């Protein structure tokens, strides 16, 4: 059984456009389905505004979905509230893009980690102290630094602290939201390697949100590509990066710099900006920017279907492009 099963998840936000105007909705997440296994890293990529952040807030149950289902093992998460939700929160955690912004500058690292342990575990003071030392060692920091404050660490060290905070309560699933994009390239590799080591040791599942496809390809087992609230393609990372099927994935990958000349692709420049989710294009949401669009694309929503074993794509012309 997968650790996480998401089915037909939707989040629509009502928007007021004046007293006499027809009510409108922003379709931030629209009919998204996927699953995630323990010990697996699933990448989620797409331009800003595609719904990645809304999807992660829904999975963390920081917002209620409009409809659809989120199951962790055999427990349905969408209906739970109050104390049951608070207890479940220990199972899923988040690593943020900006580790400095997510750490209270007035709290020592010890206090940051102890706060999480007090909230989600029954450890006594000695147990918390031992666990904090263990966590700092696990993320490659000297446990003797526990009484220091966030400003006394470098950007990479602060991200290690963010990872330690997420690990503090033994989660089953972590959403890593652009965890390395604010870091220097040399430090990015260290953090990516750290996350892979932690996954090997603990079996935690990651949803890794990023716009840098090179990083996603390196760390993820599978990748999902999202556009205007809908999934366009999902496939094992190596298959998606070496042989993308959806025109949007092809365009995203064509912009990734390649050192190896044999892997270089013809650059596909997409026309225009991402349309507003308040008034998304009819049919295929990508049709206003797709270089392969035919009249059918503006009329009929392509089904997100398995087109090859383990490969899903939402495109009418996938077999022909």
Residue in 68, 171, 179, 247 binding ligand SF4, rule: CB under 6 A: 247
113-152: which residues touch ligand SF4 (CB under 6 A)?
none
Region of 22-30, 60-68, 69-77, 292-300 interacting with ligand SF4 (CB under 6 A): 292-300
Only segment of 18-26, 81-89, 156-164, 312-320 that touches ligand SF4 (CB under 6 A):
312-320
Does residue 268 belong to the site contacting ligand SF4 (CB under 6 A)? Answer: no
The answer to whether 70 contacts ligand SF4 (rule: CB under 6 A) is no
Calculate the dihedral angle through the C-alpha atoms of 277, 278, 283, 284, rounding to the nearest 10 degrees: -10
- Min dist CB 295 to ligand SF4, Å, is 10
302 binds ligand SF4 (CB under 6 A): yes
286 binds ligand SF4 (CB under 6 A): yes
Closest separation in Å from C-beta 42 to ligand SF4: 22
Stretch of residues binding ligand SF4 (CB under 6 A), selected from 3-11, 23-31, 159-167, 282-290: 282-290
Total number of residues binding ligand SF4 (CB under 6 A)?
13
Nearer to ligand SF4, 68 or 247 (CB): 247
Residues recorded for the chain: 321
Any contact of residue 293 with ligand SF4 (CB under 6 A)?
Answer: yes
* Nearer Cβ to ligand SF4 (41/234): 234
Q: Is 284 in the site for ligand SF4 (CB under 6 A)?
A: yes
CA atoms of 19 and 216, how far apart (whole Å): 45
**Candidates 9-17, 65-73, 265-273, 310-318; binding stretch for ligand SF4 (CB under 6 A):** 310-318
Chain residues that interact with ligand SF4, rule: CB under 6 A: 246-247, 284, 286-287, 290, 292-293, 297, 302, 315-317
């Amino acid at each position: 059984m997968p650790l996480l099963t998401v089915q037909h998840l939707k989040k629509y936000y009502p928007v007021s456009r004046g007293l006499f105007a027809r009510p409108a909705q922003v379709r931030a997440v629209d009919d998204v389905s996927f699953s995630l296994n323990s010990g697996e890293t699933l990448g989620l990529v797409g331009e800003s505004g595609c719904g990645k952040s809304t999807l992660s807030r829904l999975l963390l149950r920081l917002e209620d979905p409009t409809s659809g289902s989120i199951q962790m093992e055999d427990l349905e998460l969408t209906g739970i509230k109050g104390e049951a939700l608070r207890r479940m929160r220990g199972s899923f955690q988040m690593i943020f893009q900006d580790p400095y912004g997510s750490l209270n500058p007035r709290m020592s690292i010890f206090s940051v980690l102890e706060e999480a342990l007090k909230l989600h575990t029954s450890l006594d003071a000695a147990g918390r102290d031992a666990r904090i030392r263990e966590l700092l060692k696990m993320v490659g920091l000297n446990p003797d630094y526990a009484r220091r404050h966030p400003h006394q660490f470098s950007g990479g060290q602060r991200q290690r602290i963010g990872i330690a905070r997420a690990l503090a309560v033994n989660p089953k699933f972590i959403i890593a939201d652009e965890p390395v994009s604010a870091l220097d390239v040399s430090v990015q590799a260290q953090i990516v390697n750290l996350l892979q080591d932690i996954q090997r040791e603990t079996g935690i599942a990651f949803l890794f949100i990023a716009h840098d496809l090179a990083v996603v390809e390196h760390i993820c087992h599978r990748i999902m590509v999202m556009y205007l609230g809908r999934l366009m393609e999902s496939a094992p990372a190596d298959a998606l990066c070496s042989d993308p099927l959806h025109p949007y994935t092809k365009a995203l990958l064509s912009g990734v710099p390649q050192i190896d000349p044999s892997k270089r692709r013809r650059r596909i420049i997409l026309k225009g900006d991402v349309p507003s989710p308040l008034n998304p294009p009819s049919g295929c949401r990508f049709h206003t920017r797709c270089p392969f669009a035919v009249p059918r694309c503006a009329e009929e929503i392509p089904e997100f279907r398995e087109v090859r074993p383990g490969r899903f794509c939402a495109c009418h012309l996938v077999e022909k492009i």
